Every structure is written in structure tokens, then in C-alpha cells.
Amino acid sequence: MPNVKCLLWITCSLGVAVEVLFQLLPWALGLISRVDVLLTRTLFWYFGHALVYFWLLPAYMAWYVIVPKIIGAKIFSDSLARLSFILFLLFSFPVGLHHQLTEPGIDGFWKFIQVTLTFFVIIPSLMTAFSLFATFELRGRELGAKGVLGWFKKLPWGDSRFLLPFIGMVAFIPGGAGGIVNASHQMNQLVHNTIWVTGHFHLTVATAVVLTFFGVAFWLIPHLTGRVLTPVLNKMGIYVGVLWAIGMAIMSGSMHIAGLLGAPRRSDYSEYGGAQQAIDWIPYSIAQAVGGTILFVAIILITYMVIQLAFFAPKGHEEFPVAEAAPGAQKTPAILENFKLWGVIVAALIIFAYTMPIIEILRNSPLGTTGFTPW
């Protein structure tokens, strides 16, 4: 998993490195008078989409490897976990054009190709959901659960190290569904550059990832500082998770609704000339403020917890939880660890998805904007 993450970061950074070194930096230094706007945006989004997985994949690592140990379970399938990360590696790069669906100058065929490849990212997400809930059910059955959903009651809901990542997993379901909307050519026309997109990221990154990181912090910080998570701090962690879920549901939900009503993602204006449409957004802006206030309370609590766990909690030993594969599981196929092979496939997908669009951009898109002072 760390190998995939490192490959992802190195590969995606190439796009923004080319953009900065050969376009933006010479432009800022006055070495060139203009830059190719479409080319720089394309290079950025080659980097920008994969960048999101740089935050998300550590959360996936925690879900696959840490959470099962916390609940006393085994990893449902080591091979499935490795395969899901390989698929994220393959389909994180040849998909950047789905961020540029409304931009002229890029052939619609290549937008369609990259939108199609984007939907392949859904597969490892569904695999992860299957693997995690299979792990939860098996553990619940081990603890004597009966009935179809009896295992659900057996999960350690009083353990903040589990509860917060679990809330993050649940939040990722509507977040992922919103991502499908964003990447769909027709539906994207409605929500593009609206505050819907901001609400989407508040579910995927600011909830799924952040709450998972909080849950990890509850054992990692005391593990590093030689302290323990006390029952009081554990209960406070549960309050953090509940407050975060409530606040984000209000804030992100109102962002999604306001986006559907046309509220922009960003703007230079606050009153929009008194337009009635903008007045209709005000209740949802107030709701966003209410949700944000609840989130701020949660931030204060988590800040207090971090300080306590780092400096003031009782001395002791906090385990670094790493789950093991289930006994009797089949050996992981060697091909899933052949990173030379997967690196070649990644390169082939990138070349396939970007060669012709970049050639067309260089051929048809003249150098654009001159320098300007942004203040």
C-alpha cells in the first residue's frame, strides 16, 4: 500500500512539475510573455485528480489494516486489498479531463474516454465496501450475532478509534455518488463550478478522510508519546465524531442543495446585484454557517484531545494496531506485487489518454494570457 502511494505521488507530480518549470515559473520571472492556458490546466488536472487520492489512500490503508485489528477481526482478503490499491493506481491518472468537460479546445472523444476510465475508479471503492463490511459481519458472527443484521450490534460503537473511521466510511457513500455526478458529462453541466462541488469534497475529504485521521490519531499520538487513551478522552472522541457528522450533514447538505439552485463555487460578488436567484441561496448559506459552527466546536474538542494525548494523558503503552490476514486464506498472487508490470501499464494508460489531447492542444491552442497583478 505505501508503495502504491509513493508511485501515485511521484507520477502525478510530473504534470504539475512540467507546468511550473516550463510555463508558470518562466512566466512569473518575465522570461516568457504568455502561457498556454489550456495546456497548463490540462497538466494541472492530470496532477489534481490523483492528488485527492494522496489523502484518500491513507484512509483506505487504515480501513483495511487498522480498523479490523481494533475490532478484533482479521483482514477479510489480503489479495482484495492489494488489488483495490492497484486499481486506484491504474485509474488515478488517465481521468483528469473529466474536470475539464466544459472547456473548449479538447476533443469530446477524449473527454468521453477519460470519463469512461473515471468510472473504473468506482470498482475499487465497491471492492473496499464489500471487504470492510464482510470483515464487520464475520467479526459479529464470531461474537455470536444472529439474524441478518445482528452482527451490526456487535461492533464496538463505544470505541472512538472505530466509530470515527466508520462514520467516515458511511459519509464516503454519498460522497462517491456525488463524484459520479461530477464526472458525468450531462449531470456535470448542472453542478459544474457550483458550491455542490465544495459540498462533495466536504464529504469525501473533510469527512471520510478527516474522521479516519482523527480515529488514527486517538491511538497513534499516545503510541508515539508513551501515553494512553483514557475513557474520558475516548468519550470525548465519540462526541467529536457525532458533532462532526451532524455539522457536516447540515453544511455539506446545504451546499449540495444551493449548488443545484445555481449558487457558484466562488465569486467576486456577495450581493449579485440583488438578483432574486441569489436571495434564494441565503437560507442555505445560513445553514452552512450553522453546520460550520458545530464543526468548529468539534475542532476545539479534537484540539484539546490532541494536546492531552501528546502531553498530559497518563503514561502507558498504546498498541500500534496492524491486522493480520485470516487464517487459511489463499496466498496473495505474486503478480499483485509486481510493480514493474503495473508501472508499465500505468505509463501505457497515461500515454493513451493524453498523447492526442496534448498534441491537439499544442497544435490548436495559441499562447494565451499575459502577466497580470492579482491584487
Burial classification of residue 79, based on how many CB atoms lie within 10 Å of its CB (0-12 exposed, 13-18 middle, 19 or more buried):
middle
Which residue in 54, 152, 265, 339 is the catalytic one?
265
Instruction: Determine the Cα–Cα distance for residues 260 and 268; give it in Å rounded to an integer.
Output: 20
Which residue in 46, 201, 214, 284 is the catalytic one?
201
Cell 468510472 sits on residue: 119
Print the SS3 string covering 67-116. Answer: HHHHCCCCECCHHHHHHHHHHHHHCCCCCHHHHCCCCCCCCHHHHHHHHH
| Longest CA pairwise span in the chain (Å) | 71
Question: Which residues have C-beta within 8 Å of that of residue 111, sequence separation ≥ 6?
Answer: 97, 98, 100, 101, 185
Is residue 65 within 8 Å of 95, Cβ to Cβ? no
Is residue 234 within 8 Å of 160, Cβ to Cβ? yes
Is residue 88 within 8 Å of 4, Cβ to Cβ? yes
Residue 105 — left, alpha, or beta (φ > 0 → left; ψ -120 to 50 → alpha)?
Answer: left
Which residue in 41, 46, 47, 49 is the catalytic one?
49
Which residue in 41, 82, 200, 227 is the catalytic one?
200
DSSP reduced 3-state for 272: helix
Active site residue 363: no
Active site residue 201: yes
Active site residue 200: yes
Active site residue 34: no
CA distances from 79 to 128, 188, 257 (A): 12, 35, 40
Question: Which residues have C-beta within 8 Å of that of residue 208, sequence separation ≥ 6?
Answer: 56, 59, 168, 169, 171, 172, 175
CA-closest candidate to residue 4, choices 42, 44, 60: 60
Q: Which residues does the annotation mark as catalytic?
A: 49, 53, 200-202, 265-266
